[in-house]
Chain A
């Protein structure tokens, strides 16, 4: 392609045909100013041209960019490789090493006539990203003075370009589409500028247009396209044309969102790091004074922490489980709970999903005699009563000033409060702890009261994930989300905790007959339990039994007559005390006794309440029996050999085939019945009042007249 450029004097160059003679003449003068750099620039120009004109130039430009990105001082090697690549195409031109550092200087020395353009050029340079344009310009600077000669050379080169280089879809000579080094405004100090050729000018204008930057952004289209092409060439994706738009968008985005340097933390990831730190605490052993071995021994001994991983494994066979790492974290969290609280037995009850957060629930039993601490017992059941009371009072007259009118007492009395069950019995047999995420502290849920269970049966609300959130519903739920959660947990436990027949048996102390309407409420493990074959477990419902007490409609497991004034819990039959208020006699509520088989469970719309299946039908000899509840979707139980377990993962609601119908509001209360003390009369109408007033005035006037008459008479009398 060009001859080797030995000296700054006229040298065969291949500038683009678009260059104006004027510019080249200017350059020639500049060249004379800067002889040493010429030799470096010339080959630059040569292949720069080719870059612009032919598709293969992209390779060169890429090399150029890489050069630029390494900073102004380029290594010789890079230049050489670049040059050599071009050499094949160019046909053996020597390319001495290039010192890029020189290149900015000419610009500055020029005085930067078009300052804007200069700055735009300088920026990429500073950022280390090459701009083809820059190189071209720098090269441009050093072109030979013999422009005409260059033209000739260029013409010759044109043919070579056409043959050797793959072209894009656009015509090479189209000034609007092709990039070309535009003028940098190298106004030499003494100018004799020849007329630029129109095509050259058009090309320069096009490039100038592409290079312009706006006030809002310092990136010109030219540079963006350069970045885009670089990226494509670096990454070499398949089928780049189909990706072009996306890559375009990504490149733009990257320009405006540079990667943060390593010294600064990404603010978005802060919460993630915090959580990770917290969970890290789970995994660290609570190192107490370096008693490594002793701790190990203690831990190997019986601990209350359940084998969550084993349970998770079996449930995974059944197709229901949290992922294994989450199970392990739950395991560590339970271990933490056991260490913090005096716990006798502990079990992972399940996970209740919520709107913003979910709950992990652990069912624990405290050691004997442990104080269970105070619970904040807000008088929630009374609120409903008080509200109605106040309402009733408003119905009556509120004349407090009139002492004569006594406010009638409302006739409504709130229903008697049913006492909650004792700890460790009935619905409150176990204590429940919840946490939102492994690593967060466990919160204890309060004991459940019967009224809460009764109300929970009537409403259907999602859990939000925050324990102190109010439960806004009708009928109003007496409590916040913690109580509602506790009530649902109680209902789910009572309905879906099942075990294989024979695993539990009744203790020996209790008599055979049921006493006083209260069934046996305790059971113990059967040491002779042999395990039921899995196939039998799946076939028949009678092989499973409930081992939690059924909750009566009253809200308790053992029935209590609320009319009883005494503190005794168990009463037989009907009580007629305090019936003068009109309340009906309470009938004792009876529920199925403990350890009832599942076959006795009520059907839901002709649908069996439980679905049983083997975990794996392909290998029945090793599979486990899985029971899935249809009444409480999300409740599962598995049994295999001598092991069984229950779990609940779900939203916490019962399945109901009909739609949920909230109860209608109560009917409007009657007003007070009329009695001698409270008599309601209609107010007089306006006419009546006016008539009365007129009559009164008349009477008054009449009486005045009479008085006057009398006075007159008296006066007359006196006068007489």
Chain B
């Protein structure tokens, strides 16, 4: 959610029951403004909160002019002092996929994972048990990246693509209409498109290249992994992801207010197909 409209966004996203206490909110308002100044971001988003056993991580992201460029992620334990996280790489994701369970809440905590590695000495090849240490920071980075790639949502029309390349916020976006807001096809993944090129020419003919340049949520697998509800007496559309429980996207139809927040344990719900 945008740091500029933080209070309103928090209020609208509170239907899932997770919010922020007043002291956190106040600290966020101050520190996010400072972040924007210090790092010269174009937009600062409050990404959410990952609940750990001992402490929680508060995550913020900074965007540059091009909305789809890789974002800088920062974390904080007290909403005041922010530390920049390294960008996520493939190796990190692979490495941390073996770690299961909750986050500890201590960034310097190391998970120990024993794995068998083939070591070759000369002509002998034998397996040895190696204990690999994985830092919690790495895990944090990869989880945030996975969540962003999988379930970050933006409504159709909020961004538009110019022929010069960069993707801009659409200042004339007036919000989706009520009938559009209830359809999953009006929402896109807020990331580089992956499946767009697989569409047939017939489908592509109906698309508007300046608006429909991202994947829509319609074709997510498994089908039904999004729960779409109207709250507050039909004036607010809330999308909740079932794959990463804790991600809430809200949008007030016919207004510009939209945003998403993740408040959860940072674990993927692999049981989803059984639960639907």
A is bound by B? yes
Let me know if A358 is at the binding interface, CB within 8 A.
Answer: yes
Assess the B234–A316 pair: CB atoms within 8 A: no
B245 with A651: CB separation less than 8 A: yes
Bits for A606-649, please: 1 = Cβ < 8 Å to B, else 0: 01100101011111000000001010011000000000000001
Known A242-B168, A272-B235, A357-B229; contact A320-B18, beta-carbon cutoff 8 A: yes
Is there an interface contact between A650 and B78, defined as CB atoms closer than 8 Å? no
Binary flags per residue of A587-616, CB closer than 8 Å to B gives 1, else 0:
000000000000000000101100101011
When the two chains form the complex, which single residue of A322, A460, A651, A657 contacts B14, counting CB atoms closer than 8 Å? A322
| Chain A residue nearest in CB terms to B211 | A249
Contact B11 A268 (CB under 8 A): no
What are the residues of chain B within 8 A of A268 when measuring CB–CB?
A: 177-179
Stretch at the interface among B20-28, B106-114, B144-152, B191-199: B20-28
User: Does residue B122 face the partner (Cβ distance < 8 Å to A)?
Assistant: no
Nearest chain-B residue to A351 (Cβ)?
Answer: B17
Contact of A322 with B235 at beta-carbon distance under 8 Å, contacts A246-B171, A269-B178 already known: no
Q: Which of A355, A460, A616 contacts B23 (CB 8 A)?
A: A616
Q: Is the CB of B21 within 8 A of A617?
A: no
Number of A interface residues in the complex (CB < 8 A): 60
| Closest Cβ–Cβ distance, residue B152 to chain A (whole Å) | 20
**Nearest CB in chain A: distance from B14 CB, A:** 4
> What mask results when residues 232 to 271 of chain A are scored 1 for a CB within 8 Å of chain B, else 0?
0000010000110111011000000000000000001101
Report the Cα distance A608→B54, complex, angstroms. 10
How many Å lie between the Cα of A437 and that of B17 in the bound state? Answer: 15
Pick the contact of B51: A243, A358, A618, A628 (CB < 8 A): A628
Q: Which of B23, B160, B179, B264 contacts A245 (CB 8 A)?
A: B160
- A interface footprint on B169-194 (CB within 8 Å = 1, 0 otherwise): 01111100111000000000000000
> Which residue of the partner chain A has the closest CB to B14?
A323
A318 at interface by CB-CB < 8 Å: yes
Among candidates A249, A439, A649, residue contacting B17 with C-beta atoms closer than 8 Å = A649
Contact of B201 with A by CB under 8 A: no
What chain B residues lie within 8 Å of A279 (beta carbons)?
A: 233
Q: A356-B229, A662-B274 are in contact. Are A317 and B22 (CB under 8 A)?
A: yes
- Min Cβ gap A607→B in Å is 6
Binding site for B on A (CB under 8 A): 237, 242-243, 245-247, 249-250, 268-269, 271-272, 275-276, 279, 316-323, 326, 351, 353-358, 437, 439, 460-462, 465, 605, 607-608, 611, 613, 615-619, 628, 630, 633-634, 649-651, 653, 655, 657, 659-660, 662
A–B pairs, 13, beta carbons within 8 Å: A246-B172, A279-B233, A316-B19, A319-B18, A319-B24, A321-B19, A323-B15, A353-B227, A355-B224, A437-B233, A611-B54, A617-B78, A634-B17
Known A322-B15, A461-B274, A660-B275; further 19 A-B contacts with Cβ < 8 A = A246-B171, A271-B230, A271-B234, A272-B234, A316-B19, A317-B22, A319-B20, A319-B24, A323-B12, A326-B232, A353-B240, A358-B15, A607-B101, A613-B55, A618-B23, A630-B53, A649-B18, A655-B265, A659-B271
- Going nearest first, the 9 A-B pairs with the smallest beta carbon separation are A649-B17, A275-B233, A660-B271, A272-B234, A246-B172, A268-B178, A323-B14, A319-B21, A355-B227
